[in-house]
Amino acid sequence: MFLFVRVCGLAAIVLCSAGPLKAQAPLPELMTDTPEYCTELQDRLGVLIASSVLPPPHEVADLSTQGQTLCAHGHVRGGVQRLRRALVIMQQHGEAP
Amino acid sequence: MIDTKLLRSAGVRFAAIYAVLLTLSALALTSFIWWSTAGLLDRETEAEIHADAQGLSDRWTQAGLPGLVLTIEDRLAQNIDGDAVYLLVDETGRRLAGNLINWPPKVDQAGPFFELPVQRAGMRTLTRVRYYDIPPDLRLLIGRDVHVRALLRAMVTDALLWSLLIVSVTATSGAVLVRNLFKRSLANVSATATAIAAGDLSQRVRLSGRGDELDQLAEVINEMLDRIGRLMEGVRQVSNAIAHDLRTPITRARTRLEDAASHARTPEDLHAAIERAIADLDHIVGIFQALLRIAEIEAGSRRASFVRLDVAPLLADIAELYEAVAEERGVTLTLDVSGPLPVHGDGAMLQQAVANLLDNAVKFSPAQGTVGLRARSDRDSVRIEVSDQGPGIPPADRERATERFFRGETARSTPGSGLGLALVAAVAQLHGGSLRLEDAAPGLRAVLSLPTVGSTDA
């Protein structure tokens, strides 16, 4: 019984906090999980790569490609995450002596 | 309405205390666990936001608005976890930087943290945000997506609340159990006390056999009841003995006086009858004095007059006194005392006790017999022995020989009140010692053991 109640409680929490947006409650929207932000990150990455005197690591290219593909297929959060990782690696690569 | 009788019950009080303590302990424990888990998540989020705000403030100070905007955009671009929320707006509410599309109306006060639901990729999620004023007219909102943390916090809170509920139920059940155990444990004692109050002194508290505190209490109560029983039996025996032993001399004195009143022919006959009656009454007075003396000794009031003394000279004095009495009866009294014999006690009382023993020994010794008075001291005690060659006391009677008015078969024909050994036993007990009667084969050996001064002091 305890397990049943607990599962019900958790389900309620999940439904309340992460369920589909209700029509009557317009909420502020985050703009960093959009295809436009994917494009912005790709542009930033392109600028960084272009301004770097060293060739970018393979990992950056891989992450960039993966990010662009995911964004193009509608998996924006995954794509944004990979592009961010590529940016961070490229940033550290550029700062390395 | 709460039953006041129930509230007065000690069992209910103990049970309630048990339940409250257990529940409070569980509450304290769950509060601590919540504080160190779910609370920690909140505190970590707040610390991150605070550190972020500090960094941005420094950047604002160094590079102004362009620098601040650039830094916010950089931080968003490098936020691999994807949980950062920023919004920088001007006085008109126009967004200058950040990833929140507009200023949430809910966040209307700088300083406190807000739980802010937001839309993210078409899904509702939860953020924790804080609003900072940047003079003169900018507003900055910094936050973190705490959706996963909120889920985890809810799970922890849920589990702790259920744990608390279970502990409360367990505590209540335990309290009922404790109350029943308490009631059952005391019911035994209560039933025994009720039976005794009703006059049945043979009842005793039952022992569970576990040897726990309740068993120890039951043992103490039973010992107390045994002691009371013995005392009451003693009172009854003494009452009977007084009635029996005093009736004879009183009746005899009355008969003599009546006989003298009816038949005395001369003043001399009358005078002699009166004297015999006085002797009988003196005997009665003597019995009462002995009884009072024993009672006084048993009460322990004489202990205040105890001093350190050597028993050896006292024994020599008594032996000298009784030597003449023994000689009159054709009995030889031998003295074998190796002193010193240090004890802590009352000399007169000890002399009285030894005198009683010698009196009995001389009285029951056959003609040409020998009475021995012997005393030795060892590390722990002084041992005074008085032995005779009389008929002795059968083993079955020796235990009772120190009871008041007890007179064995062999003593029926000899004069006496049956109080001599009772007084000796009372004196021995008062001095922390003992009186033991042994078979001297032939005769009786009375052994009076007293603690030495050293062992008493220790």
Q: What is the pLDDT of residues A11-69, one digit of tens each?
A: 454 444 444 444 455 888 888 888 899 999 999 888 888 888 878 888 888 999 999 99
Could you identify the residue written with the tokens 């317009």? A26
User: Which residues in chain A are closer than 8 Å to B162, comparing Cβ atoms?
Assistant: 2, 5-6
Closest A-chain CA to B76:
A32
Residue B257, pLDDT score = 85
Structural domain includes residue A5: no
User: Which residues in chain B are closer than 8 Å to A18, comparing Cβ atoms?
Assistant: 123-125, 147, 151
Residue B392, pLDDT score = 87
User: Which residues in chain B are closer than 8 Å to A10, comparing Cβ atoms?
Assistant: 154-155, 158
Testing the interface with A: which of B76, B114, B144 to mutate, by most A Cβ within 10 A? B76
CB B97 within 8 A of CB B86: yes
Give how far Cα B15 sits from Cα of B2, B20, B25, B28, B185, Å: 16, 9, 15, 20, 14
Structural domain includes residue A1: no
Cβ separation B82–A77 shorter than 8 A: yes
- For residue B92, give every residue at least 6 positions away whose Cβ sits within 8 Å of its Cβ, in sequence order, or none: none
What percentage of chain B carries pLDDT values higher than 90?
A: 23
Nearest to A18 among B77, B80, B123 (CB): B123
ipTM reported for the complex, 2 dp: 0.73
Strand partners, B343: B309, B452
Structural domain includes residue A73: yes
The answer to whether B70 faces chain A, any CB pair under 8 Å, is: no
The residue ranking higher by pLDDT, B387 or B242, is: B387
Strand partners, B117: B126
Question: What is the tally of structural domains in chain A?
Answer: 1
Model confidence at B434, pLDDT cuts 50, 70, 90, reads very high
Pairing outcome for strands B113-120 and B95-98:
unpaired
Nearest to B154 among A13, A34, A44 (CB): A13
Residue B412, pLDDT score = 63
Structural domain includes residue A8: no
- How many whole angstroms separate alpha carbon A71 and alpha carbon B128? 27
User: Which residues in chain B are closer than 8 Å to A32, comparing Cβ atoms?
Assistant: 76, 79, 82, 99
Domain containing A94 equals: 31-97
- For residue A76, give every residue at least 6 positions away whose Cβ sits within 8 Å of its Cβ, in sequence order, or none: A33, A34, A35, A37, A38, A70, B121
The answer to whether B99 faces chain A, any CB pair under 8 Å, is: yes
Residue A97, pLDDT score = 54
Closest B-chain CA to A16:
B124
Could you identify the residue written with the tokens 């060293």? A54
In 3D space, the residue among B304, B187, B196, B294 whose CA is nearest the CA of residue B242 turns out to be B294
Closest B-chain CA to A88:
B78
Name the most confidently modeled range: B139-143, B185-189, B300-304.
B139-143
CB A30 within 8 A of CB B119: yes
Tell whether the model's pLDDT for residue B332 goes beyond 70.
Answer: yes
- How many whole angstroms separate alpha carbon A79 and alpha carbon A63? 9
Q: Where are the alpha helices (DSSP H) in B264-346?
A: 267-299, 311-328
Nearest to A76 among B121, B154, B158 (CB): B121
Cβ separation B119–A81 shorter than 8 A: no
Structural domain includes residue A35: yes
Structural domain includes residue A51: yes
Averaged pLDDT for residues B267-272: 86
The answer to whether B126 faces chain A, any CB pair under 8 Å, is: yes
Structural domain includes residue A63: yes
Burial of B116 (0-12, 13-18, 19+ CB in 10 A): buried
Query: First-to-last CA distance in chain A?
Result: 62
- How many whole angstroms separate alpha carbon B420 and alpha carbon B435? 12
Report chain B's mean pLDDT, rounded to a whole number: 85
pLDDT digits (tens, 9 = 90+) for B91-128: 888 889 898 888 888 888 888 899 889 988 788 889 99
φ and ψ at residue B64, rounded to 5 degrees: 70, -160
Task: Give me the sign of the Cα torsion angle B94, B100, B102, B105.
Answer: negative
Q: What are A's interface residues with B at a Cβ cutoff of 8 A? A: 2, 5-6, 9-10, 13-14, 17-22, 25, 27-34, 37, 40-41, 44, 76-77, 80-81, 84-85, 87-88, 91
- For residue B277, give every residue at least 6 positions away whose Cβ sits within 8 Å of its Cβ, in sequence order, or none: B253, B256, B257
Name the most confidently modeled range: B256-265, B267-276, B317-326, B411-420.
B317-326
* Domains observed in chain B: 4-36+154-187 (no CATH), 38-145 (3.30.450), 213-297 (1.10.287), 303-457 (3.30.565.10)
Residue B404, pLDDT score = 77
Averaged pLDDT for residues B377-399: 88
Four-point Cα dihedral B132, B135, B136, B139, nearest 10: -20
Q: Where are the alpha helices (DSSP H) in B2-37?
A: 4-8, 10-36
User: Taking CB atoms and an 8 Å cut-off, how many pairs form between chains A and B?
Assistant: 97
Name the most confidently modeled range: A26-35, B354-363, B393-402, B448-457.
B354-363
Closest B-chain CA to A87:
B78
The answer to whether B147 faces chain A, any CB pair under 8 Å, is: yes
Residue A3, pLDDT score = 44
- How many whole angstroms separate alpha carbon B259 and alpha carbon B280? 15
Cβ separation A30–B77 shorter than 8 A: no
Nearest to B100 among A10, A22, A28 (CB): A28
- How many whole angstroms separate alpha carbon B77 and alpha carbon A80? 9
Structural domain includes residue A22: no
Cβ separation A10–B155 shorter than 8 A: yes
Task: Give percent helix, percent strand, percent coil of chain B, each to the nearest 5.
Answer: 60, 20, 20
